[in-house]
Amino acid sequence: MNDTKPQTADGKVLWHFTMSLDGFVAGPNHEMDWMTGTARPGLADEYVQTTGAVLGGRDGWDAMPDARPYGSDWKGPIFVLTHHPEDATPADDVTFLNCGPAEAVRIGLEAAGGKNLEVFSPTIGRQLLELGLIDEIDLHIAPVLLGQGIRLYDNPGSEPIRLHRVGEDDPTSIVNVRYRPSLPTGTVS
């Protein structure tokens, strides 16, 4: 299996998602059911142990109010960045912030207590990347093509952002993957 080293709790700002092969992190209405059964055993536990706080956006919160990352296994503060905190649906351990993304990161890192601040918003992640505030992008690419939904990075007209793979001899080389379409049940090949 080709996998990255386990995640560490280093006080990083971590833009973290499971993503479809065609670049979507959620379905059209923030649906996440397509992810079922795609992660290797124990993967979520790495993040439960290394995550100190979560920063998300209002659209994701409104689509799944009171949803906890990693099911009910992770406990900690969640910060939701919004322009209208007054009409947000409250929940335990959730703080609605009406500030700039840099200030939200400062608040989230302080609350993370030396562990990682995970960013679960494509829009906020893009803004933080442009501000130079993302320490690491951690992606789990699922072998599925969604065809539509919410993209990880959507910034038409922008300049390409070059990335370096962590822990590789040649951090700028492409990643090679090879898949075959899975035939629907009952189909004869």
Place of tokens 């960045």: 81
One-letter amino acid of 185: T
pLDDT at 177: 80
**Angle formed at CA 173 by CA 46 and CA 148, multiple of 5 degrees:** 65
Provide the pairing of β-strand 150-151 with 24-26.
antiparallel
User: Tokens at residue 134, please?
Assistant: 């993302």
One-letter amino acid of 78: I
**62-111 tens-digit pLDDT:** 888 777 888 788 999 999 999 999 999 889 999 999 999 999 999 999 99
Residue in 5, 38, 12 with CA at minimum distance from that of residue 146: 38
**40-63 tens-digit pLDDT:** 888 889 999 999 999 999 998 988
5-10 average pLDDT score: 83
Spatial separation of the C-alpha atoms in residues 53 and 68, rounded to whole Å: 11
Asked if 72 and 98 touch (Cβ cutoff 8 Å), the reply is no
Residue in 83, 122, 121, 79 with CA at minimum distance from that of residue 99: 83
Place of tokens 């829009």: 123
One DSSP character per residue, 10-73 reads: SS-EEEEEEEETTSEEE-TTS--GGGTT-SPTTHHHHHHHHEEEEEEEHHHHHHSTTPPTTTTT
Residue in 143, 162, 164 with CA at minimum distance from that of residue 153: 162
Q: Quick check: 1 pLDDT over 80?
A: no
Q: Dihedrals φ, ψ of 50, to 5°? A: -105, -5
**134-187 tens-digit pLDDT:** 999 999 899 999 999 999 998 888 888 888 888 767 777 777 788 888 877 656
Residue in 66, 20, 55, 60 with CA at minimum distance from that of residue 179: 20
Q: Dihedrals φ, ψ of 59, to 5°? A: -60, -45
Q: Residue 26 — pLDDT band, cuts 50, 70, 90?
A: very high
- Write out the H or E segment, with its range, that includes residue 138: strand 136-142
